[in-house]
Structure 1
């Protein structure tokens, strides 16, 4: 059966296993984080957040080769050109070993500067240099093993295999971390598990890739045209990765430098909840990425433009509903989970919800931009957004604290990132299609979401019940009211009937 005929099946399978994996990878880390907070304290969560952010910055050395390689595999896979796929894997393997060495060297060179990234004191029983080295090993070890085999599984639309391996990995690591914290109350037990489980993850993915796709091995020499194409796309991807780091990782670093580890820990808890919700949405985009790549490779622009609008409509409903839930449930949930002392004021919650919404609305458009390989075309936009975000972070954190950090990122995405990147996609792939019409649809979706947020929040305020019962009642309200309001707003939309048919096709026919 061809990749084209398998697109719906693969998207559905990837989504199902992605959801199961996401449930596991949200629930178990939530339990381990809770144990960490109550056994050791929120400062230790701050250490996690800070060093994870630093290592994400170091991962810029990867330069986006993985995405470029996956993109380069779509066409030869569609044409059953196995020799090119094998040569791509061989090239990727060599590049990743070089990258691992770079990450390790730069990571070690940063050790003397760690003390300047933390405002105030650290927990007395923790050596920050030892902790950092463990995190560094966790980041760098994958590059020397079989991480490149994940690109093959992703390109052949078998993201479900990666999800299953990640799920097994998370179950084992969480069990060890929780038992270690409860019995030994040692932070080092908590973190030493990380590189060991990264090793297991890569070994399992390599074994399964070899089992299911034995025809794809690392051998052969890549043609010069493929190397030049990958290098060109990687240049753009590097800038995109820098932009992504400024959106997420730099937040924790700025908070640590200006406010200390405790605010980093509190923000990490809020960000964990937001990124968990985001992760659920990512299941759908990651599951469809290879299918979109295959579609862009063999289908017409007209067909893909129609799909873009359809998928955007469905996804806007989902991310808008998630925004409403976060606005109404964030504080009641945090009050039960960590208590009043580890909570931010409601203005920070509003900023986080705005950040979440503007961060997610471009996800579908980005799928087509990635599939069309427009990273180099988008380089100036990504650079401007990254610079603006860093500048705003620096200015606003000193005057508005954590609220300033969060709203700075939202502003840079809303006024620079989203509109500019969308224009690039329409100018370079959806040529002749109306950019303004697409943006009008986005504005309409945003206005509807704002109204739905206001109405749902006011209803929750009117109910005004505290504790676990209140959280349950608010959750029921958030399930019913927003979706009724969205239905009323959208049922006459030109995309509504197509969306219903598409969802039925995915759920029923698969």
Structure 2
């Protein structure tokens, strides 16, 4: 009982600290992007998006390793096996340093090709190579400092330590970077603070972890060869599952810069930033459900879990539909206030972004059953297929249709590879049944979502016709987006079994 109480206490502490951290991590880039655009211009935001995207792709070699290390640490940490934990940590430190060298080498190899990734002019007086080297140094430095200690925090259920540290450091450096930008108007000085933030973060990680876990944070000993084989398997599975998600927006940003220029890259990423913020908020729902779903996959029949999938998917699709409605009704009024008319995309692009968002969310609940049943390796060709499809379509459609082509390319790869193909894999290898019933089920609720979205949008158009103030229009539209969809959802669903079930589930939680 005492142990269960301790787990619950740690979970609550982690959740509170994590929620605060997510809010800060979302808010601070919003503030800095606004100030950079107002003080020195949109092209600098485009450079930030381009270089961040390049280095995200280069850092793919790291994906999966942290998760695999945490997975392998759970048992020795729970058993108090200090020697085993130290050996895993020692192995992780060596691997991280090898990755750092690989990323540094690949990053330097890209320097001659940088001009080809930028269409049009660059900000006057900016040394692109120097700027890129600062970004590269920032990416590489963590591999050689103390980032390898972070799995200890997660394995010991003390993610609050990491969240609190990240919150404080992010807040402090956001204030510092904004002050430097206002005082110097220099983007180089502004960016030069990023590696300082990373170094500070790493030193604080080392101090916090070594103070909290003095015996566990010593790198010593060797991991048995049998355990290294298990680590490789876990790394491969996690790498495949994360590959598409990480490259998706990064490739889009790179192609936007290469074909359309830095200013449009900044505008594209402003819209994507709002999209990712909504995705982050919805992740709270999936995070709260995945533990229970994992337990049910292990203890219940496939038929029971299929029925459960339909119920939780009903709730999630309703939330995703409501978020889609809010996005299509509020995107442009918000962007008009935030960045101004000159930093807005046409309405067609907004519709494409909303379709992009909804397709991304369409498979979230189903994917949790795939993940908890260990279908990572089975999905390897699907993951590779989506990445290749996205790359080829980004190049071809981006060249022909510009920003519309690039977003459409992502939508096509999402629909056929991330949705259709993934559903087939999950139903073939886990549920052991035809996916037809699930497709029809999602189509029915998606059509309802589309109808609610259209009705709400028409009412919001009327609001814009009646009122002229930007802030007033945004506020009234926001109220409409809350009231109208809720009334329509209640009208459509109030007598259905899924609605009654989800209502009880939400009240319980």
Same fold (TM over 0.5): yes
SS of the residue 2:497 aligns to: coil
How far residue 215 of structure 1 moved from its aligned partner, in angstroms, is: 5.9
Distance change (3 Å), C-alpha of 1:481 and 1:152: farther
CA contact (8 A) 1:233 1:373 kept: no
Q: Mean alpha-carbon deviation: is it higher for 1-10 or for 248-257?
A: 1-10
Q: Does 1:200 align with 2:224?
A: no
Change (3 A) 1:323 1:445: same
**How far apart, in 2, do the equivalents of 1:82 and 1:446 lie?**
51
- Tell me if 1:486 matches 2:456: no
Tell me the residue number matched to 1:130. 130
Partner of 1:469: 472
Deviation larger for 391-400 or 43-52 = 391-400
What SS does the aligned partner of 1:110 have? Answer: helix
Superposed displacement of residue 440, structure 1 = 3.6
- CA shift, 1:10, in A, is 5.8
Residue 357 of structure 1 is matched in structure 2 by 358
Quick one: higher RCO (CA 8 Å, sep 6+), 1 or 2?
Answer: 1
Deviations 1:452-483 (A, max 9, x none): 21111111011223410110111111122222
Kept in 1, the 8 Å contact 2:306–2:431? The answer is no
Structure 1 residue runs of 5 or longer lacking an equivalent are none
Per the alignment, residue 499 of structure 2 pairs with: 496
The structural deviation recorded for 1:41 is 0.5
Structure-to-structure mapping, 1:302-341, within 5 angstroms:
308-341=309-342
Question: Is this contact kept in 1: 2:65–2:235, CA < 8 A?
Answer: yes
Residues of 1 paired with 2:85 and 2:260: CA distance? Answer: 49
Residues 414-472 of structure 1: CA distance to partner in whole angstroms, max 9, x if unpaired?
122123223333444x4446644444433333222212211111110112234101101
| Partner in structure 1 of residue 107 of structure 2 | 107
Aligned to 1:419: 420
Is the 2:394–2:405 contact (alpha carbons within 8 Å) kept by the matching residues of 1?
Answer: yes
- In the TM superposition, residue 179 of structure 1 has moved relative to its aligned partner by 0.7
Whole-angstrom distance in 2 between the partners of 1:61 and 1:392:
24
Deviates more, 1:41-50 or 1:13-22: 13-22
Preserved contact between residue 65 and residue 234 of structure 1 (Cα < 8 Å) = yes
Per the alignment, residue 172 of structure 1 pairs with: 172
* Count of residues in Structure 1 that have an aligned counterpart in Structure 2: 504
Using the size of structure 1 for normalisation, the TM-score is: 0.89
Preserved CA contact (<8 Å) 1:69 1:92: yes
What does residue 446 of structure 1 align with? 446
Deviates more, 1:318-327 or 1:348-357: 318-327
Aligned pair in 2 of structure 1 residues 330, 397: CA closer, same or farther (>3 Å)?
same
Correspondence 1:268 to 2:269: yes
Structure 2 gaps of 5+ residues are none
Distance 2:428 2:200 in 1: 44
Contact 1:19 1:280 in 2 (8 A): no
Which shows bigger deviation, 160-169 or 116-125? Answer: 160-169
For structure 1, which segment, 152-161 or 395-404, has the greater mean C-alpha deviation from structure 2 after superposition? 152-161
* RMSD (CA atoms): 3.0
- State the Cα distance separating 1:388 from its structure 2 match: 1.2
Distance 1:156 1:498 in 2: 35
Report the 3-state secondary structure (helix = DSSP H, G, I; strand = E; otherwise coil) of the residue aligned with 1:474.
helix
Using the size of structure 2 for normalisation, the TM-score is 0.89
Aligned-pair CA distance for 1:286: 5.0
1:104-253 to 2 correspondences below 5 Å: 104-213=104-213, 216-217=216-217, 218-253=219-254
* Cα deviation 1:383-442 (Å, max 9, x = unaligned): 1111111111112112221111112101111122123223333444x4446644444433
